[in-house]
């Protein structure tokens, strides 16, 4: 069980948008479980990677989905040549080694899965391995972080209050213009002027959220567009491929988005 494989050796590039770094650091000092809320592709995962690096903690990330069971998080007995052998799941491993455990899109998991985090996220800081008959006491440095996209939840799928109220929470959103332009230029290698145009197109598309688009163009997609342009792809083609086609199949909506692209890269 090596800690080093989960350590982040190089500083991840993270551009702060507010005082989130200080707030998170204080929350970590209190070992407070944290919930990061915000739309897809706005920097939540990058922030956790950065904070794990800054705090010098290993990071174990788990992408949650609706087929996930508690055993996928906690662990299970596996058959091998000598019979059965217990294998820790990612949550158990993180609790033992004192990692930051990031459960990405935890709302996707079924409620019987989410309740396994309850004893870990209150004063007990314990994880019962019922099948194994072991009570794991979390390492002093362990912290649980979950992400949550407020747009996607149906009432059925939302987290229970008894789960939500175990976390401190930070709101994330697409960064303001200047910051986002810097991020896109830095991450994709395009010049600031081109990055600025990509951000402008995104602003137009973001106004269409709820008016035919489920979600605006994410910072991630702007970085994708910039990466293609950096590789010599003509901007309109790059934008179509990364900022129009992924978002919608509706022909009218595509026309609207293409018009925004042509406004800036005519």
Ligand X SMILES: Nc1ncnc2c1ncn2[C@@H]1O[C@H](COP(=O)(O)OP(=O)(O)OP(=O)(O)O)[C@@H](O)[C@H]1O
**Binding interface with Mg ion (CB under 5 A):** 45
From ligand X, Mg ion, none, interface partner of 219 (C-beta below 5 to 8 A by class): ligand X
Residue 148 phi, psi dihedral angles, 5° rounding:
-155, 125
- Interacting residues with ligand X between 210 and 229 (CB under 6 A): 219-220, 223
One of 60, 62, 159, 183 touching ligand X (CB under 6 A): 183
- For position 37 contacting ligand X by CB under 6 A, the verdict is no
- For position 44 contacting ligand X by CB under 6 A, the verdict is yes
- Between residues 8 and 129, which has the closer beta carbon with respect to ligand X? 8
Residue 125 phi, psi dihedral angles, 5° rounding:
45, 50
> Contacts with ligand X: how many residues (CB under 6 A)?
21
Pairing state between β 59-63 and 100-104: parallel
Pairing state between β 143-148 and 34-37: parallel
Q: What is the 3-state secondary structure (H, E, C) of 8-32?
A: CCCCCCCCCCCCHHHHHHHHHHCCC
Q: How far apart are CB 36 and ligand X at their closest, in Å?
A: 8
From ligand X, Mg ion, none, interface partner of 139 (C-beta below 5 to 8 A by class): none
Q: Which two tokens stand for residue 2?
A: 């090596």
One of 33, 41, 75, 235 touching ligand X (CB under 6 A): 41
Q: Do the Cβ atoms of 68 and 113 come closer than 8 Å? A: yes
Q: How far apart are CB 46 and ligand X at their closest, in Å?
A: 4
Distances (CA, A) of 171 to 17, 18, 36: 11, 10, 6
Residues in contact with ligand X by the rule CB under 6 A: 13-15, 17, 38, 40-46, 104, 147, 149, 175, 183, 187, 219-220, 223
């Amino acid at each position: 069980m090596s800690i080093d494989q989960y350590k982040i050796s190089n500083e991840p590039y993270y551009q702060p948008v507010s005082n989130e770094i200080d707030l998170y650091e204080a929350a970590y000092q209190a070992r407070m479980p944290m919930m990061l809320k915000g739309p897809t592709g706005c920097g939540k995962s990058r922030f956790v990677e950065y904070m794990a690096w800054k705090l010098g903690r290993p990071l174990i990330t788990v992408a949650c989905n609706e087929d996930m069971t508690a055993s996928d998080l906690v662990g299970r007995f596996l058959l091998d040549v000598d019979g059965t052998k217990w294998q820790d799941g990612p949550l158990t491993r993180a609790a033992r080694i004192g990692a930051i455990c990031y459960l990405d899109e935890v709302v996707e998991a079924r409620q019987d899965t989410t309740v396994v985090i309850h004893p870990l996220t209150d004063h007990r800081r314990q994880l019962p391995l019922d099948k194994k008959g072991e009570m794991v006491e979390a390492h002093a440095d362990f912290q649980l972080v979950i992400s949550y996209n407020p747009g996607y939840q149906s009432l059925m799928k939302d987290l229970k209050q008894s789960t939500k109220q175990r976390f401190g929470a930070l709101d994330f959103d697409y960064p303001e213009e200047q910051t986002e332009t810097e991020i896109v230029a830095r991450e994709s290698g395009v010049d600031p002027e081109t990055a600025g145009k990509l951000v402008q197109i995104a602003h137009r598309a973001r106004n269409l959220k709820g008016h035919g688009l489920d979600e605006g163009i994410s910072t991630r997609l702007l970085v994708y567009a910039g990466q293609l342009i950096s590789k010599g792809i003509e901007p309109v083609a790059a934008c179509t491929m990364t900022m129009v086609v992924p978002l919608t199949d509706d022909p009218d909506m595509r026309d609207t988005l293409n018009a925004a692209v042509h406004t800036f890269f005519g």
